[in-house]
Amino acid sequence: MSAASRLEHAPREAPKGFIRCYVFGTDHKVIGLQYFFLALAAVTIGIILSLLMRFHLVWPMAHLPFVAGGIMTPEQYLALVTMHGTIMVFFVLTTAPQSAFGNYFLPIQIGAPDMAFPRLNMLSFWLTLTAFLLMLAAFVVPGGAPISGWTAYPPLSGLGEIAGPGEGIGQSIWVISILVFCFGSLLGSINFISTTIDMRAPGMTLMRMPLTVWAWFVTAILSLLAFAVLLAGGILLVLDRSAGTSFFLPAGLVVNGEPLAHGGGSPLLWQHLFWFFGHPEVYIAILPGMGVVSHILANFSRKPVFGYRAMALALCAIGFMGFLVWGHHMFVSGMNPYSGLAFSVLTMSIGVPSAIKTFNWLGTLWGGKIQFRSPMLFAIGFVSFFVTGGLSGIFLAQPAVDTMLHATYYVVGHFHIVMGVAAIFGIFAATYYWFPKMFGRKMDETLGKLHFWLTFVGVYCIFMPMHFVGVAGGIRRYADSTGANYLAALQPLHRFMTFAAFITAAAQLIFFYNFFRSLRKGERASANPWNATTLEWITSSPPPPDNFGGHYPSVYREPYEYSVPGAHQDFLPQNLAPEDLPRANEEPRNA
């Protein structure tokens, strides 16, 4: 499409009827919202599963009305572990930051009418929803949900029922759900990449893209490369489980007293394939949050992002290096110790672009005029968690120290803070920030702030003590603390964390209340309530079906032109042409 024909594009009508608009809609905004509400449902289930786990760790003998037999068994606990991890990683941390917000805002921020492939986009969502429903079905099949964790290491995950409850149909459904999810993500990432490359408005050069767009773009490339490998690994696992192959199963297995006829496979092969996906997956979860945080810090500090180029390059560097460090998950796996050393140096090196991001966020705040609105608070919280979780990772990146901390609660605390909570704070920041654009109404500020304070404190209270439990040798994925004598001494910390978890989870009800109430009763939002510069703010709230009502923007300036000296106001929208810029002595006009 040439620039001229873009500009003369007639306004597009929204499809009529609920089914065509919301069920089989191809509008990227509708699909973004579908992903958002899918993630909202998933996170609700994920939190409930985690509360059940925290409850069981402290009161293992309590009678629970909804548990078969009344008292939770170890295999039921491990099913919770598996499903909590899987649902959170795939259906929340991959779905919300990238598929939901990326879908909604990437086309608008680059001045495009839609994604490059709108029908493919709809298919991606329907595949993801199918995967989600399949995953939930694992709870109700005979034998229940799988017990092999979200990492599903074979042989445990490759042998079927003989390896334990949930390893029959439950594990099969789990693998198939993951395969369907992979397909959806692959199609989605192709769409994101094509859209970013092909659909940018005139003047929207790469170095004028908002950092959110950079983050979604790099994340899409990671998704394309990482999910392809998980897809391959998952297919091999299905074959091992059902076709009698032995990709991951070696000779000489004796399971439950029964010799098996497998031979020639390697359990470490799965670990390599899984973590070749699994480590980039961490960045798939966190990079969009980094983009959102840079975007919001600039907006509410009323300053350009400090070191924009370094920030964009750091995103690319983290994305690239993210593929070189998977072996740090395998220091104790029996992998060659020399490769352990190589992975260690590479992992420590990824701290460099991460540190660049942190310093530049501080640099963006420095000298600013910081406005403490809900999105800003969550963005600052993200920075705090990213620092904490990043630094605790420095321990685990060293194989010698990892041999002491691996598979303890230290690891659980580390990755929850850096990948879980930081990413979720990115999602919250994005939700509070873009709610007025998506729904045309504002969320309540007082409730938003209350939600922030309780969550910020609560989350640190849940996950910081885990590091101490881990240093003392408390082991993750244990259904109870009676297995070793020394574990009993750690129970007081577990009790504290459980109380903190329940209080923090309760605080999320404030968010839900605020969100759903504001949908109908929130104060009406103007097109640009935060006085921001990027293209999503030059169109109405919510945007028309074709995003710009037929008037496609051209871009004349960099994305974060806040407080430019001599300008008539403290923000210059990206589409503001130099000839439209009022001279300093003129009356300011509405942008």
Partner 1 sequence: MARRERGSATGPLLLALLLTLLVLATVYAFAAHLYPAPPPITSDAVLVDRQYNLTLYVTGAVFILAQLGLAYAVLRFRDRGQRARFTRGNIAMEILWSSATVFTFVGLAILGRNAWAEVRFTPPASDAIQVEVTTNQFVYTFRYPGADGKFGMLDSTLVNAPAGNPLGLDPNDPAGKDDIVVPTLTVPVNRPVELLLRSQDVVHNFFVRELRLQQDAVPGMVIPVHFTANQIGKYEIVCTQLCGLGHSRMYSILNVVSQFDYESFLKRQAAGQ
Whether the bond into 582 is cis, omega within 30 of 0? no
Nearer to partner 1, 69 or 257 (CB): 257
Q: Distances in Å between the alpha carbon of 125 and those of 91, 117, 198?
A: 11, 13, 22
Extract the tokens encoding 97: 């930051």
Beta strands per DSSP E along 252-365: 254-255, 258-259
Angle between helices 101-109 and 169-198 (to 10 degrees): 10
Nearer to partner 1, 202 or 368 (CB): 368
Binding of residue 214 to partner 1 (CB under 8 A): no
Residue 182 CA to residue 278 CA, distance in Å, equals: 13
Nearer to partner 1, 127 or 356 (CB): 356
Q: Which stretch binds partner 1 (CB under 8 A): 109-117, 128-136, 337-345, 514-522?
A: 337-345
The site string for partner 1 over 76-105 (x = CB under 8 A, - otherwise) reads: --x--x------------------------
Q: Which stretch binds partner 1 (CB under 8 A): 62-70, 176-184, 235-243, 244-252?
A: 244-252
Which residues on adjacent β-strands are paired with residue 524?
Answer: 441
Whether the bond into 337 is cis, omega within 30 of 0? no
The footprint of partner 1 on residues 431-460 (CB under 8 A) is 449, 453, 456-457, 460
Q: How far is the CB of 395 from partner 1 (least distance, A)?
A: 5
The footprint of partner 1 on residues 508-527 (CB under 8 A) is none
The answer to whether 92 and 288 have CB atoms below 8 angstroms apart is no
The answer to whether 287 and 218 have CB atoms below 8 angstroms apart is yes
| Residue in 384, 491, 540, 554 binding partner 1, rule: CB under 8 A | 384
The answer to whether 272 and 324 have CB atoms below 8 angstroms apart is no
| Residue in 234, 340, 436, 545 binding partner 1, rule: CB under 8 A | 340
Residue 356 CA to residue 310 CA, distance in Å, equals: 7
DSSP state of 214: H
The site string for partner 1 over 135-164 (x = CB under 8 A, - otherwise) reads: ------------xxx-x-xxxx--x---xx
Residue 380 region by backbone torsions, left for phi larger than 0, else alpha for psi between -120 and 50, else beta: alpha
Extract the tokens encoding 23: 């069920």
The footprint of partner 1 on residues 550-579 (CB under 8 A) is 562-565, 568-570
Binding of residue 493 to partner 1 (CB under 8 A): yes
Nearer to partner 1, 197 or 342 (CB): 342
Q: How far is the CB of 310 from partner 1 (least distance, A)?
A: 5
The answer to whether 164 and 515 have CB atoms below 8 angstroms apart is no
Q: Which stretch binds partner 1 (CB under 8 A): 234-242, 345-353, 431-439, 522-530?
A: 345-353
Binding of residue 406 to partner 1 (CB under 8 A): yes
| Residue in 160, 202, 304, 440 binding partner 1, rule: CB under 8 A | 304
| Residue in 43, 145, 273, 365 binding partner 1, rule: CB under 8 A | 365
The footprint of partner 1 on residues 1-30 (CB under 8 A) is none
Q: How far is the CB of 8 from partner 1 (least distance, A)?
A: 33
Q: How far is the CB of 540 from partner 1 (least distance, A)?
A: 22
Q: Nearest 5 degrees, angle CA 412-CA 418-CA 424?
A: 105
**97: amino acid identity, one letter:** P
Nearer to partner 1, 177 or 392 (CB): 392
Run of H or E residues at 317: helix 308-321
Q: How far is the CB of 262 from partner 1 (least distance, A)?
A: 10
